[in-house]
Structure 1
Amino acid sequence: MVRILDKAAVQPLRKFNLSRSFTIRRSPGRSRLATIQLRIPVSNAQPNRVELVATVGVKGVTGIAQILFRIFRDRTEIFNTQQGIESAASEQNYAVTFQAIDKNVRSGRHVYTVTAENLTANTRADVVGPISFSGLAVQTTT
């Protein structure tokens, strides 16, 4: 049996939109893409898991950028994944989707943030939309 504890979702960019695009910062800098808050109740919430799903529309501008996506819980990194983004002679527009699971989260309010950073010098990739980020906290059975 699964019991829903909390859920949250944001969609800062609803569709592909070049006029609202922005460049992904070069590492060690990060571009913050979206933030949600979830609450885990004090009682009867263990064991639990938080299921997180993000989708980010990215366009390659120069070179082949390696983009590192990270998810943080309360400023602590809990997940990361990397995606290569080409800019010429092939695909240029990508919808990158990834999922993370955060297990046995302590009670209280938690802020989840998804970020992106470009790991490759002399390349450029832009966020062009859409951006969506959602979280579902559930109590699970042992």
Structure 2
Amino acid sequence: MARILDKAAVQSLSSFNPAKSFTIRRSPQKSGIASIPIRIPVNSQPNRVDLVASVGVRGVKGIGQIRFRVFRGGTEIFNTQQGIESSGSEQNYVVTFQAEDFNVKAGTHAYTVTAENLAANTRVDVVGPITFSGLAVKVRPLNLKKKRLTKHS
């Protein structure tokens, strides 16, 4: 059984809205998408932080390759990549992903989602919605002792 330690969520754009869009920067620059704080109390080991992000994007030019990253403080803990097509094909996407962070030390930690476009001569805009949430839980240690199996006739 797990015990909830902390939770946080942000919804900076609640719907698809091209009027509030911004362009994802070309790598190695990064566009900040969302941040949340998660507090881990003392004596909360082992623990796990479950993170879920959804980002609405629109392909504007070419086929962009968007790398989404999740950071705890300045340390990258997760990344994923998504191709985004533009005009003449699919243009609007909601990219959703989940990351896990294990055995986080006590303290308050800033989790941040960023995006960067890896493909030259393409353009992808964030158009919403944007949501990012985290749930920290204390978990039971795994019992790694093997039980002897007995054969019953």
Which bin holds the TM-score, normalised by the shorter protein?
over 0.9
Q: Name the count of aligned residue pairs.
A: 141
Which residue is 1:26 aligned to? 26
Give the RMSD, CA atoms, in angstroms: 0.5
Which residue is 2:145 aligned to? none
The higher radius of gyration belongs to 2
Which residue is 2:75 aligned to? 76
Which residue is 1:63 aligned to? 62
In structure 2, what is the Cα distance between the partners aligned to 1:13 and 1:31? Answer: 15
How far does residue 88 in structure 1 lie from its aligned partner after superposition? 2.3
Which residue is 2:149 aligned to? none
In structure 2, what is the Cα distance between the partners aligned to 1:74 and 1:24? Answer: 21
User: TM-score, normalising length from structure 2?
Assistant: 0.91
User: TM-score, normalising length from structure 1?
Assistant: 0.98
How far does residue 89 in structure 1 lie from its aligned partner after superposition? 2.3
Q: 1:1-142 alignment to 2 at 5 Å?
A: 1-43=1-43, 45-142=44-141
Larger strand percent? 1
Residue-by-residue CA offset, 1:24-76 (whole Å, 9 max, x unaligned)? 00001100000000000012x11000000000000000000000000000110
Residue-by-residue CA offset, 1:89-125 (whole Å, 9 max, x unaligned)? 2210000000000000001000000000000000000
Unaligned runs of 5+ in 1: none
In structure 1, what is the Cα distance between the partners aligned to 2:59 and 2:14? Answer: 19
In structure 1, what is the Cα distance between the partners aligned to 2:26 and 2:14? Answer: 25
In structure 1, what is the Cα distance between the partners aligned to 2:73 and 2:117? Answer: 22
* Higher mean C-alpha deviation, range 84-93 or range 112-121: 84-93
In structure 2, what is the Cα distance between the partners aligned to 1:48 and 1:90? Answer: 43
Unaligned runs of 5+ in 2: 142-153
Q: Which AA in structure 2 matches 1:76?
A: T
